[in-house]
Amino acid sequence: MATISSATYGRSQAGLQTVKQNLSSQCSKMQNALKGAEYNTLINTIRKYWAGVDAEDWIADLNAQISKTSSEIKKVSTHAQSILDTDYSNFKKFQKKNVK
């Protein structure tokens, strides 16, 4: 439902900020999960039952992949936020052209 004073459909700076904050929060949660409790359990289990250089090499490879994945999540978040900013900016320009 929409009225002159409020609309449930449209673009607003406040709404955009909320979307961006939620996106950033979810991406942070994903990044934190990569090194969370499950990760610690896995590493502890590997070190308990798998000895030797190959175990440490495997853990190093895992950490490298986790680092790459975390970096990609950050890139996605940054890119998505940039897209949202660009869309809002383009919308404002469009709206400005329509007002005479």
Q: Give residue 95's pLDDT.
A: 78
Q: Give residue 4's pLDDT.
A: 52
Is residue 100 predicted with pLDDT exceeding 80? no
Is residue 1 predicted with pLDDT exceeding 50? no
Backbone angles phi, psi at 25, to 5 degrees: -65, -45
**What does the pLDDT look like over 3-60, one tens digit per residue?**
555 545 567 778 888 888 999 999 999 999 999 999 999 999 999 999 899 999 999 9
What is the pTM assigned to this prediction?
0.73
Reference 23, options 70, 68, 80, 62; nearest CA is: 80
